Structure 1
Amino acid sequence: MHSAPATPARAFLFDMEGTIVDNMGFHTDSWITFFARRGRAIEAEEFFRATAGRQGGEIIRSYLGEHLPDDEVARLNHEKESVYRELYAPHLEAVTGFDALIARAKEQGVKLAVGTAAPPANVAFTLDGLDLRRHFDAIVGAQDVARGKPHPDVFLKAAELCGVAPEHCIVFEDAPLGVEAARRAGMSCVVLTTTLPPEAFTGFDNVIAIVRDFGELKAELLFA
């Protein structure tokens, strides 16, 4: 007599900025402030589309010069992130429905991970500020992978740490570069329209749902 085959391990991989927390407007404002100090004007929505999901150092080099030495890039990135944390601190909260979704996932034995371009100080600021770190089986940040999104490194590493095959992962994202990273990793993706409208995500064949927040998600889509 054969026992039923075990259900394969599954994982939910969450981008952090703009997905777990609706904070991308504050990040964009902090970049605007950072560049304004250097006499550079940036257009908010265009900047978000081009950069969200890339690591801070990658963004700084692409706007201020590839030649900048590592220590200078680190110093500039620290300045920008300090401005961001100061702006966002009074508003820190998880996106509607997030707590309920992860509670349900844990009941169902779904592994949970974070895959973010954020540096360690921002990961701590968000996940510890909201007491969420304890829920995650893996947290992969900017310091853990060589390349930011749209490269798939961050999601592939998170899946590996969870012991789950890419095709059994669902990624939650708010940015086109992040959806592309999930696509390159061979993963389905749920899009949150915290920052951009649904039409910003047309053309991605890996998107299974587009919602305003986690409360709008259909359980059967995620837990079938």
Structure 2
Amino acid sequence: MAQAQRAFIFDMDGTIVDNMAFHTKSWLAFFERRGRALDADAFFRDTAGRQGHEIMRLYMGDHLTKEASAELDAEKEALYRELYGPHLETVPGFDQLIATAQADGVALAVATAAPNDNIVFTLDGLDLRKHFKAVVGAADVARGKPNPDVFLLAAERCGVAPEHCIVFEDAPLGVEAARRAGMRAVVLTTTLPAEAFAEFDNVICVARDFSELNIAELFAAEIN
């Protein structure tokens, strides 16, 4: 079988599933337990796409050991899964888009800042893992978004050059990571309005959900 020459790389949280409000709620509840009130909008802007341990150190201090951070991460993510579990479903149009992409020979990958437990919760909970040639998470790279590591590793595992990959994202830090990886990006406005992405020159399309997207048009837009 010929190696795929094109790939779609999907962020998971806020992109495959519309769950970022639940992540934010769980973070706010986590910090509220510790007597700290945070602004939800500012917190999302500063953290979406970052790994859990990066967020912990950002808000709780660089003194945190790796072990202490891991314990706190586990508490927060368990709270998130409890809140979001009853609502777990894909964003409209996702299942049809990936079916069409696979039929067209497009390699599919997930590149997320999520820990493995959340990847299992989402991808296996929705029986999606079988569709992806690569699944890259927080445990696979040292740095979260806006660093490009997670997208570059996904492309490498798919055997597709970065310039032939299109990233699907819902957060500015993720779009910036795609830009640094040399990849074009499709923005879903599940979490933020289109205006939040106006500064990025690698955005080729903005959509409410996957049902608005046309694969041929996306790859045509990728080529200047």
TM-score normalised according to structure 1 size:
0.96
Q: Residue 169 of structure 2 is aligned with which of 165, 169, 173?
A: 173
Spell out, residue by residue over 1:73-129, the C-alpha distance to the aligned partner (whole angstroms, 9 max, x if none): 000000000000000000000000000000001001000000000000000000000
Q: Equivalents in 1 of 2:3, 2:113: separation in Å?
A: 31
User: What is the identity, as a one-letter code, of the residue corresponding to 1:166?
Assistant: P
Q: Equivalents in 2 of 1:217, 1:54: separation in Å?
A: 27
Deviation for aligned residue 1:46: 1.2
Are positions 1:222 and 2:218 aligned together?
yes
Q: Equivalents in 2 of 1:85, 1:7: separation in Å?
A: 36
Deviation for aligned residue 1:218: 2.6
User: Do the aligned residues in 2 keep the contact of 1:8 with 1:168 (CA within 8 Å)?
Assistant: no
Q: Equivalents in 1 of 2:43, 2:65: separation in Å?
A: 23
Spell out, residue by residue over 1:13-38, the C-alpha distance to the aligned partner (whole angstroms, 9 max, x if none): 00000000000000000000000011
Aligned pairs, number: 219
User: What is the identity, as a one-letter code, of the residue corresponding to 1:48?
Assistant: F
Change (3 A) 1:192 1:154: same
Gap regions ≥5 residues in structure 2 = none
Counting aligned pairs with the same residue, the percent is 71
Deviation for aligned residue 1:222: 2.6
Gap regions ≥5 residues in structure 1 = 1-5
Q: Equivalents in 1 of 2:8, 2:187: separation in Å?
A: 13
Q: What pairs with 1:1-224 in structure 2 (closer than 5 Å)?
A: 9-224=5-220
4+ aligned runs moved over 3 Å, structure 1? none
User: What is the identity, as a one-letter code, of the residue corresponding to 2:141?
Assistant: V
User: What is the identity, as a one-letter code, of the residue corresponding to 2:167?
Assistant: V
Q: Equivalents in 2 of 1:75, 1:174: separation in Å?
A: 28
TM-score normalised according to structure 2 size:
0.96
Deviation for aligned residue 1:219: 3.3
Deviation for aligned residue 1:8: 6.9
